[in-house]
Structure 1
Amino acid sequence: MKEATLCTLCYIERDNKYLMLHRVKKENDINKDKWIGVGGHFKDLESPEDCLIREVREETGYELTEFDFRGIVTFVYGKSGAEVVEYMHLYIGRNVVGEPIECNEGELIWIDKKEIFNLNLWEGDKIFLKLLDESKDFFSLKLVYDENEKLKEAFLNGKTMDIG
């Protein structure tokens, strides 16, 4: 098993829309052609909030001034089901200031929350986006993908979810 990685992901919300990143610019991108929030991997000595604020600034140009820590998402994937483990700290951004910049990872677009599920999303992202929308409770979600990027299992707060 590889060493676990730590990252953040933020869905910035404004006027019933999320700022979504369509990942179309990076080479060898596991998220190629997917729509996701903004975020990235921790750097040395960063807290989750340090990483969140830095990544939002680097990818969007915005300064994030208000946010809610909403959950931990554990991603497990690979042939053996444990080749990569990533712990993602999931946030909702409530307020940003500044001017947007061009993102070197893809196109940033404000998408109406009612249209989000029409986008090319990871199956697991659909689960946590629904949780973000339907509840204010903090959650722990574990998503297990196979080597073909198919969602095999999901666990919410330690309990098996029906993903069928």
Structure 2
Amino acid sequence: MSRTEPVTLTNMCMIKKRDKILVLNRTDPIWPGLTFPGGHVEAYESFNDSVIREVKEETGLDITKPKLVGIKQFYDRNDQRYLVFFYIATHFTGKIKESNEGKLNWMTQDELKHHQLAYNFDHDLPVFFNSSISEHMLDGKRDELF
């Protein structure tokens, strides 16, 4: 039995400014709706560097000291593991500049709940907002928080 498997590595970052959170309204037809900025980890790139780069590409902001707060895992259409490293950033500089990923808006946590979220993103939010939860596991049999 092999102890290795193909895996896709990605990240997502909740950027906080006092009581507001930066949200991205994705235009992607495969996964549209509100979510946080993020993307893929490139070869030989640290997870920390990848989230800093992705946030810059999607928002124009330069984040520092992103804090890893949890992880999501699921299996994609090809039955391969897909990992999303969840970060929170409260230190940043720059001005918001939208990308082709979608429109950006500052919202409160409560406002976020009243908008169209990306599929299953509502199940990810407890990992960001509840420090006693660090993992969201989603597969064909379960959708659990740990």
**Which TM-score applies when normalising by structure 2?**
0.85
8 Å CA contact retained: 2:22, 2:105 = yes
Aligned to 1:109: 105
> 2: distance between equivalents of 1:44 and 1:77?
20
8 Å CA contact retained: 2:127, 2:133 = no
> 1: distance between equivalents of 2:61 and 2:127?
25
Quote how far apart the aligned CAs of 1:91 are.
Answer: 0.6
Q: Which amino acid aligns with 1:139?
A: S
Aligned length: 142
Aligned to 1:72: 71
Aligned to 1:30: 30
Please tell me whether residue 14 in structure 1 is matched to residue 52 in structure 2: no
Q: Which amino acid aligns with 2:61?
A: Y
Of 34-43 and 124-133, deviating more is: 124-133
> 1: distance between equivalents of 2:51 and 2:133?
17
8 Å CA contact retained: 1:124, 1:143 = no
8 Å CA contact retained: 2:127, 2:136 = no
Please tell me whether residue 99 in structure 1 is matched to residue 95 in structure 2: yes
Alignment gaps of 5+ in structure 1: 146-151, 158-164
Quote how far apart the aligned CAs of 1:102 are.
Answer: 2.2
Quote how far apart the aligned CAs of 1:75 are.
Answer: 2.1
What SS does the aligned partner of 2:57 have? helix
Moved over 6 A (4+): none
Q: Specify whether residues 67 and 138 from structure 1 end up closer, same or farther in structure 2 by C-alpha distance, changes over 3 A only.
A: farther
Aligned to 2:131: 136
> 2: distance between equivalents of 1:144 and 1:154?
6
Quote how far apart the aligned CAs of 1:138 are.
Answer: 5.7
> 1: distance between equivalents of 2:118 and 2:61?
25
8 Å CA contact retained: 2:61, 2:95 = yes
**Which TM-score applies when normalising by structure 1?**
0.77
